[in-house]
Chain A
Amino acid sequence: MPKTRVQNSMSAIDLLLGGDPALYAIVRLSLIVSLAATALAAIVALPFGAMLGLTRFPGRAGVIVVLNACMGLPPVVVGLAIYLLLSRSGPLGFLGILFTPQAMILAQALLVFPIIAALTRQTVEDVWSEYRDELMALRVAPFRRVATLLWDARFSLITALLAGFGRAAAEVGTVIIVGGNIDGFTRVMTTAIALETSKGDLPLALGLGLVLIGLIIMINALAWGVRRFGEARAG
């Protein structure tokens, strides 16, 4: 007889409380991949978005439109592109990282980049409209302006980073293509949920789903706390 929803939820909680090693390995890898992808994307996207917010050049509007559109990039298309790049016959095939967590990080970073860059661009542009006269009168050099605006907008930019992390953590299409969902090696929460659901192992799928949601809430709560603490200290 099939289990009821309540029974499934109870089994998921049992798995969580019982410290199931398979479950925790998947959770650990998911966190590592999503956080690393967000960090990797942020290193490039924050200065890129800030520069885009501050500079004026022909075709800038087109770049902004494309960047904004890329926030909705279909993950499977990105996954396919990365797969072709990293496959043995692809231009980056020599790296030999297809079906590894590194490939998953790279793919997720590509997905996250436009989100962080576009939100950074908007945030920095808003702050720049407030700071422009002051920084120009202080004769601040262009690169220092970027650093100043990123620093002074740091609490708002936490939201951009969270949006990027949310996208990475919830992503399934890309990582399944470039990671392969290999048990104990590249299986993350989202791919495991998809697999376990198709296998009919709903307790594990539900357990992972609960953990995923819980982690996202925890990280958002942590970021909110950091923001409040920082704002209280820095004004």
Chain B
Amino acid sequence: MRAPPSDLPIVFDQVSLQAGEVAILRGVSMVLRPGAPTALIGPNGAGKTTLIRLAASLMVPTSGRVTWGGKPGTDGARFAVVFQRPVMLRRSAAANVAYALPRCPAGERRLRTNELLLQVGLAHLAQRPARRLSGGEQQRLALARALAREPEVLFLDEPTASLDPASTKTVEDVIRTAAASGTKIVIATQNLGQARRLAADVSFMLRGRVHEVGAAEQFFHAPQTAEAAAFLNGDLVV
């Protein structure tokens, strides 16, 4: 079952976030529309994670607002978040996925859990305590748990930052499958290769602002701003 189309677009309207005297986000305005994956790219401290947290109502902006399908807040919105360091509940891998299916009848929940674990390549570790899994396995488990919610929007915050290439490929394959089935993927990453492989749109962020927005192909071949060009060139952009 898909969410009503009214959940998208997500609109950031002049969103700012101040922590003491530090401006984390400065008047960000952008729109996340249905369709192919969007990558939020930029150096550390650019505000990518904060943007995701604001979209998911995990933080409240100092000024401006975020709307989902024209409505403020995330009430009723179908989304899920995979964090850079996901928290594993103190139970088995299967129970971690089942936790995200509280309203499912028991039999259906078991089936769905098994499907999701299979999808992320963890079926053989279903009964292993989640906290005993490796970093890559935990990230895949977090992805399975997020997908259990059948989100219309899936936010991924540096989902493969500390993973080996094999785990990265598994995670990216699952992301592609989710995107192909209609889930809007919003991925924050510093990994330009990953952004190239996955994203159709790119928002380049720097110092709490969105500097450039555009189609991925155009952005990577002909960036419009000097900062974006420098970042793509591997220069330190501060």
User: Known: A131-B87, A151-B90, A152-B90. Is A136-B58 also a contact (CB below 8 A)?
Assistant: yes
0/1 per residue, B105-139, Cβ < 8 Å to A? 00000000000000000000000011110000000
A235 in contact with B99 given A137-B56, A137-B58 (CB within 8 Å)? no
Contacts of B81 in A (CB 8 A): 133, 137
Prevailing SS type, chain B contact patch: loop
User: Once the chains bind, are A137 and B132 in contact (CB under 8 Å)?
Assistant: no
Q: Is B89 among interface residues, defined by CB-CB distance under 8 A? A: yes
Chain A residues whose CB sits within 8 angstroms of the CB of B129 once the complex forms: 233-235
**A130 vs B149: C-alpha distance in the bound complex, in angstroms?**
21
Q: Are A235 and B83 in contact (CB under 8 A)?
A: no
Per-residue interface assignment for chain A, residues 104 to 139, with 1 indicating a CB less than 8 Å from any chain B CB and 0 otherwise: 000000000000000000000000001101101111
Residues of B near A148 (CB, < 8 A) are: 89, 99
| Selected contact of A137 from candidates B80, B89, B90, CB within 8 Å | B80
B86's partner among A134, A139, A151, A235 (CB-CB below 8 A) is: A134
Which residue of chain A lies nearest to B74 when distances are taken between CB atoms in the complex? A139
Residues of A contacting B: mostly: helix
Q: Could you say which of A134, A137, A235 contacts B131, with CB atoms under 8 Å apart?
A: A235
Does B53 belong to the interface (CB within 8 Å)? yes
Q: How far, in Å, is B88 (CB) from chain A's closest CB?
A: 8
Total of A-B residue pairs, C-beta within 8 Å: 45
B58 touches A235 (CB 8 A): no
Chain B residues whose C-beta falls within 8 Å of the C-beta of A131 in the assembled complex: 87
Kindly list chain B residues whose C-beta atoms are within 8 Å of the C-beta of A144: 102
A residues within 8 A CB of B87?
A: 130-131, 133-134
Q: Are A133 and B102 in contact (CB under 8 A)?
A: no
- Complex: how many Å from CA A151 to CA B69? 36
Q: Which residues of B contact A233 (CB under 8 A)?
A: 129
Q: How many chain A residues touch B (Cβ–Cβ < 8 Å)?
A: 16
Query: B100: which A residues are within 8 A, CB to CB?
Result: 138
Task: Give the CA-CA distance A134 to B79 in the complex, in Å.
Answer: 12
Asked if B91 CB lies within 8 Å of chain A CBs, one says yes
Report the minimal beta-carbon distance from B131 to chain A, rounded to whole angstroms: 3
With the chains together, A235 CA to B133 CA distance in Å? Answer: 9
Q: Contact: A133 with B89, CB < 8 Å?
A: no
A53–B89 CA distance with the chains assembled, in angstroms = 18
Question: Which chain A positions have C-beta within 8 A of B57?
Answer: 136
User: Which of A133, A136, A138, A154 sits near B99, CB closer than 8 Å?
Assistant: A138
Docked Cα-Cα span, A233 to B130, in Å, equals: 11
Contact at A134–B83, with CB atoms within 8 Å?
Answer: yes
Using known A-B contacts A133-B58, A137-B56, A138-B149, determine if residue A234 contacts B102 with beta carbons closer than 8 Å: no
Question: B141: shortest Cβ distance to chain A, in Å?
Answer: 12
Contacts of A234 in B (CB 8 A): 90-91, 129, 131
Given known A138-B99, A138-B149, contact A133–B53 (CB-CB < 8 A): yes
Chain A residues engaging chain B, CB cutoff 8 angstroms? 130-131, 133-134, 136-139, 144, 148, 151-152, 154, 233-235
Beyond A130-B87, A133-B87, 9 additional contacts (C-beta under 8 Å) are A131-B87, A134-B83, A136-B56, A137-B56, A137-B83, A138-B145, A152-B89, A234-B91, A235-B90
A-B contact pairs, 18 of them (CB 8 A): A131-B87, A133-B58, A134-B87, A136-B57, A137-B58, A137-B79, A137-B80, A137-B83, A138-B80, A138-B145, A139-B149, A148-B99, A152-B90, A152-B91, A233-B129, A235-B88, A235-B90, A235-B132
Pairs A-B, 3 closest by C-beta atoms: A235-B129, A235-B131, A137-B81
